[in-house]
Structure formats: structure tokens, C-alpha cells
Amino acid sequence: MSNRLKIGLFGFGVVGQGLHDIIKGQDLNLEIIKIAIKNPDKKRSLEAGLFTTNHDELLNNPEINTIVELIDDADAAFQIVRRALISGKHVVSANKKMIASHLSELVELQEKYGASLLYEGAVCGSIPIIRNLEEYYDNELLHGISGIFNGSSNYILSKIFNENLDYHIALKQAQDLGFAETNPILDVGGYDPKFKLAIATAHAYGLFINPDKILNVGIQNLSENDINYAREKNFKIKLVPTARKISTKQIITYVLPKFVKSDDFLFNVENEYNGVTVQAAFADKQFFFGKGAGGHPTGAAVLSDIAALRYGYKYEYKKYHQQNGLSHTDNVNIEIYLRYEHEYTVEKLKIQNIVERFTRNDYKYVIGSVSLKDLLANKELLQEKNIFIAHTGRYNYTEQQIKAVAEEEAALHS
């Protein structure tokens, strides 16, 4: 028999309203007691008595046993979630930045106070990837996890490649549809998928990685020349976060635009849809597909977590507690396409093993090998408008390099 949940809801924006739409009229053994909002003057679709601007009315209410946190402010969200867990209230959140930035502390709070924090809606909208990594792949050896984690940027790229829309027109459409924010840099700059990748990596490999240690390069500098290059090669460009095992003990992570071939699952993931590829040792390659943006898809994932709480479900963080000896490294090379203006860019990034180069007055590019460490060290340079990079899908590291990285890591921790 399920436990009755009495919910305090923080936030009544796109996802909050989407969640309410889904649960309205259903007999789910739950009840929303109070909704905390920021703007008391905004016209609401529900009775005024349900709303408050006072967080304490939810957090200090002994009747409320579950907090659902759906606000944008990551710092405020952390304070809400932290107080809720300490008071023994269960929490459901969709705030990927907050979770990625504080996951280690949040796990400790859950263990100390016996409450549960679930966050399926924080990663890839309606796709149940966290629950699958936590349960289905709990004893699997994963070679890699990658995909399209951001519906806003994918919508923009789909419109560019399928309908020949200008980047700025496609972005405006995404904003009008509620897929992208007024300031879209979190989406198109690759920050949103970076936070999601950090969370997914925690469940896939048991590594809690500081998001600042993960390279993220977005699509905001995409030019007509880059688009034409991809089309000539029969590629599409997708923004792809990747966590990849490069040896028995080492993981690399990054978010980069990628040239995707027609035989790749991601090639046909369009508009606001997300797609996740999991490469496992025994289950082999599996693909998850679903809507990644919008109130109802994310609201459905949030409701799935709420429903799981009725039966006492918790993440067990099995791989994290196994202490499997895995480490995160950026001391490895990948092959990239680099469009640039000044020659010093190629030199500063230390591009090696150049296999292709093109130069004319208005367009220069090289394809060659670069270290993730050098890309991270020059992240500000990569934001300049005359620079665009994309992963070709090929890797350049050798067994000798991996061995050297392992020895370096061992020396650091000895």
C-alpha cells in the first residue's frame, strides 16, 4: 500500500504548471498543500490561498512530508533542498545545476537524516535515464554514455539543418516555444548538458565530478561555413555530452558539438527531443529516446519520482559506495575540427597530427588532435566569435598515453 504524500511545491512556472496539469483529476494518493512563488502579483490559474512567498510556510509545516523543488535559482534551490532533507522531508527536484554542484553533500544529507532526494526530471526530460543507470546497469561495466541532453540547442540545430533557418531565427522560435530562456547561453553554451552529464556520470560510474572540471563548448559561434562543411560530408552537427571509459580506471567527460554520421542513433533525433546512447560491456549498445524540453515531458518525470516516493524508493548510489577506484582525467587527446581566424589559435591550443587544413580569406579550418586539458585551459579563447570547434568522433589516445596518465594519477594520490 502506498504512503500518502502531502506536497509543498516550490515554483509554478512551465514545469510546475505541467506537473499540476498531469496530476489534476487523477487519484494518486497525494495532495499539494502549498505552492511557493516569487511573484505574488502574477495572475494564477489556481485559487490564491494555495500560494505564498514565504518559504517557511512549506519547510516548517509538519503536515508537508514531501518538497517538490522546481525553481530556476540553483543557490536558492540548494538552500530549500538542504533544509528539507535535514527536517526529514523527502525531496523531488529538477534543478540540474544545483544537483550537479552539490551532489556529494546531498548524498550525505540523505544518509544522515533518512530522507530521499530524487531528480529524474533534471536529466533529459521524459527519458528515465537516471533510474536505468541506477537499477538496470547497477552491475554493468559501462564503456560510455553520450547523447543529446538539451532540447533547446537540438531544436535550433534541427531547424538549421532541416529547414535552412538562420541561427538567430531558430533561437527566437525556441524561445517563443518556451524551450530556451531569454538568456539562452545555459542551453546553447553547453552548460545545461554539462550539469546533466555530471549527474549521469555519478550514477553510471560512481564519480562525483565538479562541473567546473568538465569541458563545455556550445553552438553559439556556429557559422554558415561550419554548416556547409558538415553538409558536404553528409554530417549533422549535434551538441553531444560524453562520458567515456578510456581504461579500466579512467573516465573522460566533455560537452562538444559533434559531426554526427547518418548511421548514428543521434542523427535522427530532432527538435526538442533528447536521445541517450549507453554502451555496455554485456548489454552492448542501447538507445533511449524522448522529449527533453517542455512542461509536460519534464512534469511527467517529476511525477514518476513523486510516485516512487509513495513506495519508499531511494537512489542507492551503489557504484559510488563500491569505491571502484575510477578517476576522472582530462589528459587525453581527441580529434577536432577547428574553425579559426588567427594562426595563434592553432598554436595556443597545441593542435597536433593535423590531417586536414583549409585556408581562404573568409574561412580557415584544421582537423587535428588536441588535449582536453589544453581545451579546458583555453576555455575563454574558445568563446570568441571567430572560433568554432566540433568533435569528429575520433580519438587519438594510445595505450602508452593511457599508461602514462595512470602513472601520473597514481603519483598524485600516493
Cβ contacts of 147 within 8 Å, gap of 6 or more: 124, 240, 241, 266, 269, 274, 275, 276, 277, 288
Angle between helices 74-86 and 96-113 (to 10 degrees): 10
State whether residue 289 is helix, strand or coil. Answer: strand
- The C-alpha cell that represents 153 in the structure block: 540547442
239 burial level (CB within 10 Å; 0-12, 13-18, 19+): buried
Local structure of residue 286 (DSSP, 8 states): E
Q: Is 196 considered catalytic here?
A: yes
Whether residue 100 contacts residue 124, with contact meaning beta carbons closer than 8 Å, is answered with no
314 burial level (CB within 10 Å; 0-12, 13-18, 19+): middle
Q: Which amino acid is at 137?
A: Y
Distance of CA 125 to the CA centre of its chain: 10
- The C-alpha cell that represents 235 in the structure block: 554530417
Given the residues 89, 196, 258, 319, select the one marked as catalytic: 196
- The C-alpha cell that represents 238 in the structure block: 549535434
243 burial level (CB within 10 Å; 0-12, 13-18, 19+): buried
Report phi then psi at 31, rounded to 5.
-150, 130
Whether residue 320 contacts residue 107, with contact meaning beta carbons closer than 8 Å, is answered with yes
Residues labelled as active-site residues:
196
